[in-house]
């Protein structure tokens, strides 16, 4: 789901748009999305509101497949300082996980696993204590095996 190149740790951003852009750039860099996908994620969030803040501290920006998705891809950014997306129940956000898929059904299984993993007790705390992309990769690999790392 993630690669070391699709993860950025302890990133400084000024606002939610910059956080989404940072996560989107990782999707583009990995070859999962075209650059226009980044603008589509921001536009979608502006039009539909901060629904992308799915749980306390976690935003999952995305856009429609036809807006520049090339293949299934995920990126993860941890923020040095949390930012506000405008969701009174789940702000501020410290972890941004962007995703894309070439069709709307292709990523459902991955998203279901990701959501279940993120809901595990203390999992987000562990993510926020990781100091490298490698540690976050190990954390997710451990979660797949029922273990915790970091």
Q: Are 28 and 34 in contact (CB under 8 A)?
A: yes
Q: Catalytic residue positions?
A: 62
Q: Are 30 and 5 in contact (CB under 8 A)?
A: yes
Cα distance between residue 119 and residue 102, in whole Å: 26
Neighbours of 11 (CB within 10 A): 15
């Amino acid at each position: 789901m993630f690669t070391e190149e699709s993860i950025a740790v302890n990133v400084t951003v000024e606002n939610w748009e910059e956080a989404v852009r940072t996560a989107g750039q990782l999707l583009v860099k990995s070859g999962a999305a075209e650059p226009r996908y980044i603008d589509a994620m921001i536009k979608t969030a502006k039009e539909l509101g901060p629904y992308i803040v799915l749980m306390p501290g976690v935003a999952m920006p995305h856009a429609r497949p036809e807006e520049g998705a090339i293949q299934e891809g995920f990126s993860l950014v941890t923020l040095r300082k949390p930012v506000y997306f405008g969701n009174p129940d789940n702000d501020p956000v410290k972890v941004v996980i962007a995703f894309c898929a070439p069709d709307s059904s292709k990523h459902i299984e991955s998203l279901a696993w990701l959501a279940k993993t993120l809901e595990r007790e203390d999992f987000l705390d562990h993510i926020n204590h990781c100091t490298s992309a490698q540690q976050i990769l190990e954390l997710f690999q451990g979660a797949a095996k029922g273990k915790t790392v970091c």
